[in-house]
């Protein structure tokens, strides 16, 4: 599970990954939760936390919410009990379910420009609605493009604050093919300013002005990575 908090990836893995991660040189700091407490001054660069417990996960979230950790880039937690750690994290937020799509027309994908960032079409599920149906509906509402929905690409989790409440949004992403773009138009009510069909190279350039979670989705499309 990867959660994007303040656009930074927080990854929770199980103990089977520990041997590989401990030998990695990709981390600036390695913390063993059995031996030391979690402190703001240890959260710098890319951080690996070993033997993480649900309490450690909650402490990390509290620090992220209360402290400006400007030099923190990512955190990977190797949890003693991965499921328990994930459940503790989810319990700290109100869960909102959403779905979205990566739409292709040949070799080009559809990007939208909204609120100063390049983004992908997505939105919340209606009551009783399945993710696959919601993804198709949201794409058509936000872009006017009719699509065929194919396989699921990945699931992302990201946090934000709404009306004083901490929200964790789960978004299921689907690969889609354009069937009809004759009514393509950005949905102004959702502050969408532009829609663009772009190739992979142009997408990479534009998505430097986007969110880490959106870049994660695009990487999953091209690399075949699936993160649930």
CATH for the stretch 95-223? 3.90.79.10
Q: What are phi and psi of 144, to 5 degrees?
A: 80, 0
Reduced 3-state DSSP string for 7-68: CEEEEEECHHHHHHHHCCCCCCEEEECCCCCCCHHHCCEEEEEEEECHHHHHHHHHHHHHCC
CB 32 within 8 A of CB 23: no
| Interval 56-104: pLDDT, tens | 999 999 999 888 888 999 999 999 999 999 999 999 999 999 999 999 9
Distance CA(203)–CA(120), nearest Å, equals 11
Whether 25 has a pLDDT exceeding 80, the answer reads no
| Interval 179-222: pLDDT, tens | 999 999 999 999 999 999 999 999 999 999 999 999 999 999 98
pTM of the predicted model, to two decimals? 0.89
Q: Can you tell me the mean pLDDT for 122-127?
A: 96
Q: What percent of the chain has pLDDT over 70?
A: 94
- For the record, the structure tokens of 206 come out as 């534009």
Distance CA(168)–CA(68), nearest Å, equals 19
Distance CA(133)–CA(97), nearest Å, equals 13
Q: Find residue 170's DSSP bridge partners.
A: 97, 157
Q: Find residue 11's DSSP bridge partners.
A: 2, 76
- So where are the chain's domains? 2-91, 95-223
With a CB cutoff of 8 Å and minimum separation 6, the contacts of 209 are 116, 117, 118
Grouping H, G, I as helix, E, B as strand and the rest as coil, residue 197 is: strand
Q: How confident is the model at residue 228 (pLDDT cuts 50, 70, 90)?
A: very low
Distance CA(165)–CA(159), nearest Å, equals 10
Q: Can you tell me the mean pLDDT for 141-147?
A: 97
Distance CA(132)–CA(174), nearest Å, equals 7
Q: Nearest 5 degrees, angle CA 158-CA 6-CA 57?
A: 70
């Amino acid at each position: 599970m990867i959660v994007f908090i303040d656009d930074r990836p927080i990854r929770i893995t199980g103990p089977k990954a520990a041997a590989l991660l401990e030998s990695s040189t990709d981390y600036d700091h390695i913390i063993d939760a059995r031996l030391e407490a979690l402190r703001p001054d240890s959260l710098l660069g890319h951080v690996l936390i070993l033997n993480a417990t649900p309490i450690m996960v909650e402490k990390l979230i509290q620090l992220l919410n209360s402290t400006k950790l400007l030099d923190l880039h990512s955190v990977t937690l190797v949890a003693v009990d991965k499921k328990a750690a994930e459940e503790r994290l989810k319990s700290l937020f109100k869960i909102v379910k959403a779905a979205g799509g990566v739409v292709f027309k040949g070799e080009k994908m559809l990007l939208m420009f909204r609120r100063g960032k390049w983004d992908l079409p997505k939105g919340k599920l209606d009551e009783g609605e399945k993710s696959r149906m919601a993804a198709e509906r949201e794409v058509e509402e936000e872009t006017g493009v009719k699509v065929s929905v194919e396989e699921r690409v990945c699931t992302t989790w990201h946090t934000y604050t709404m009306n004083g409440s901490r929200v964790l949004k789960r978004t299921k992403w689907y690969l889609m093919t354009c069937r009809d773009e004759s009514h393509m138009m950005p949905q102004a009510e959702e502050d969408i300013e532009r829609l663009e069909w772009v190739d992979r190279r142009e997408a990479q350039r534009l998505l430097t002005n986007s969110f880490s979670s959106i870049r994660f989705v695009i990487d999953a499309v091209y690399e075949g990575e699936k993160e649930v």
